[in-house]
A and B are shown apart, each in its own frame.
Chain A
Amino acid sequence: MDGFIATGLIGISLGAQYALLALGFTLIFGILGVINFAHGGFYVLGGYLAYAAGHYLGISYPLAVLAATFGTAALGYLFELLVLERVVDDQLTTLMLTLGLYLMMSTGILVVFGPQAPDFKFPVSGVLRGGGLYMPIENLIVLGVCLAAIVFVYLLVYRSGLGRALRALAEDRQVAAAQGLRPKLLFPLAFALATGLAGLTGALVTPVLSLAPYLGDPALATSFLIVILGGLGSVGGATAAAFIVGMVEAYSAVYLGGSKGALALFVLVLIMLVVRPSGLFGRESRGA
């Protein structure tokens, strides 16, 4: 029974990490209509930036995480402004541009840092015990920061002027623009917010799990599964789906073993596409 609860705790912390990752992806699709293939790349880049900031510049870990967040956000901002903005309405073109960026980022990381996994460890370690349950302290900290960041994103999207403007653009770009909202100013900001979230997730999670140049693909695939499950572009759906995916992965890793959990998830997503293509909450925020 303790094992069952402990697995649930692992599932929740996985879910929180996935939620943070998938929120960025679903925001970009919801607001810009862009499938960001570089999202996994920004996750890996966040990890490497935090590692480099700590390892080469001697910055403490919390500041390194902040540096990674703003670094990835800045790169996302520039990429949207300089490359994507001109063709932002053409879904296939933006998809291929982000794919190109992803390939260049992966190769860049490989050239700079080499194929070996760097020695990137969480600064705090130890295990919290209580009533037969074990919880590594680092997982608790990551969980706490992830939840705080998710709350921040919700407040930003649903309670701030910027969030209202972004949601208006997601709802109907022409009308929003006619009301005086300026996509050319807001789209790079939205993209930066999303890539910053991916970078933050990478900086937080990779020291606990692992850091290697090729991790972008699995991160991207997980984001895809979550957003299909939650409904493309839906913020609430992505959050709920992330926790479902985290739980399924945790329990299947313990009770089924190997990678059968990933197979189960894929089948679940295919079933979802037949039964309810618009996702868990059955509402699409975007018809692109």
Chain B
Amino acid sequence: MARPRLDVLPSKSNAGETVGILVIAAAFIIPALTRSPMVYSVANQILIAVTAAFSVYIMMRMNLLTFAVPTFMAVGGYTAAIAGRSFGITDLIVLTLLAFAVPALFALPLGALVLRLRGVYFVLVTFVLTQITQLVLFETPSLTGGSNGLVGMPAPTLFGITLADNQAVLSVTTALALMGVIVTATVTRIFRQHFAAIEENEVLAQSLGLVVWHYKALGFVIAAGVSGLAGFALVNMLLTAHPSSFAPLSSVNYIAYTIIGGKSSILGPLVGGCVLVWASDLLALQGEYSQGLFGFLIMVVVLLAKDGIVGAGAYWLHRLRPNRAPAMPVPASASFGPGDRT
């Protein structure tokens, strides 16, 4: 308990956010550098994984663990697919807005309902929700194509240009990821203090007049929108919307990216997504096997380095430069859950 954590209050500087946005924007130059389909495939996977992990990160800022990412990815992805197939909407901007807004609207009533209760209920309900999502997708073939999924969407267009080839798909994924990181950075910046107050001591925050569930629900709605962007990117890359893309098990991957990368900085999900997706690809690990590795890493991080790869890196940077200002001291109670002192 006495081990100091680096930044309980996320640092006031916007360095992490700026770096995150720049790194994702840098993916726009990949098509100019290489034509290798392997690189494109990995880059697409990483960008989608990172975008999905951002929505876990938003909720982790308030000490809430969400399993519902695949659910909202499915809502976003299927929304874009149905809009393209049934309504002939191909404009990338309209599709992006739909893929963000529809999942957000889905999340609103659910968040208003569950987030008034203790955080435990949120975890349990979101877990069950991902299981239910599969059932709903299979049970509504007239809307979602059931077990066949939806295929044959027209390629998205931007200002009359059709975005169909490999380079264009990667650019679309990059644009969606960029929007995801900008939204995430903006929200966690604007509500930095509110989120931190909830993370630190929810009861105290509430007694000081913060309507805690408003901020939780707001974060949940935005996180759902960000997941929707990831879902749209996934459907756009695979050219199909299929239930297997949004399997309940995948929710654990996005949690793993965020926790192992580090949940205290927006760079955490970014680093975690890059490292773990790349490592899974490199080791040619099948889904189930990589999850065993993720499970092990989650346990290691939780027990030994609470702020993950990014937190450990920042800690060692500080140690190596003793002339820097020391890390902010942390009360021992900071590592307890919010509800334990009720």
Residues of A within 8 A of B (CB): 29, 33, 35, 83, 86-87, 89-93, 95-97, 99-104, 106-108, 110-111, 115, 213-214, 217-218, 220-221, 224-225, 227-228, 232, 258-260, 262-263, 266, 269-270, 273-274, 277, 287-288
Contacts and interface: CB of A to CB of B under 8 A. Distances in A.
B249 A92 contact: no
A224 B294 CA distance: 23
B292 A104 contact: yes
A164 B277 CA distance: 49
Nearest to B249: A217
Contacts of A273: 113-114, 117, 121, 125
Given A92-B63, A260-B139, 8 more contacts: A93-B302, A95-B65, A99-B252, A110-B292, A111-B289, A213-B288, A225-B128, A288-B337
Contacts of B315: none
Which 8 pairs show the lowest CB-CB distances between chains A and B? A107-B292, A103-B295, A100-B299, A91-B337, A100-B298, A104-B295, A100-B295, A259-B135
Given A103-B291, A107-B295, A277-B121, A89 B132 contact: no
A107 B294 CA distance: 10
Contact of A91 (B114, B135, B289, B340): B340
Interface string B328-342: 000000011101101
A273 B302 CA distance: 30
Contacts of A214: 249
Interface string B115-126: 001111101110
Interface of B: 63, 65, 113-114, 117-121, 123-125, 127-129, 131-132, 135-136, 138-139, 248-249, 252, 255, 259, 288-289, 291-299, 302-303, 335-337, 339-340, 342
6 contacts: A107-B295, A214-B249, A224-B124, A228-B121, A260-B139, A273-B117
Residue with the highest number of chain A CB atoms closer than 10 Å, among B123, B131, B295, B340? B295
A90 B291 contact: no
Residue with the highest number of chain B CB atoms closer than 10 Å, among A93, A99, A106, A260? A99
Contact of B127 (A83, A100, A221): A221
Nearest to A223: B124
A90 B332 CA distance: 12
B128 A287 contact: no
A227 to B, nearest CB: 8
A101 B302 CA distance: 12
Contacts of B337: 89-93, 288
A220 B252 CA distance: 14
Contacts, number: 137
B303 to A, nearest CB: 7
A216 B340 CA distance: 28
Nearest to B136: A263
A103 B113 contact: no
B296 A104 contact: yes
Contacts of B255: 99
Contacts of A110: 288-289, 292
A225 B128 CA distance: 8
A91 B339 CA distance: 8
Given A35-B124, A91-B340, A97 B302 contact: yes
A35 B120 contact: yes
Contacts of B123: 35, 95
Contact of B125 (A29, A33, A217, A228): A228
Contacts of B114: 273
A224 B127 contact: yes
Contacts of A269: 125, 128
B330 to A, nearest CB: 14
Contacts of A115: 288
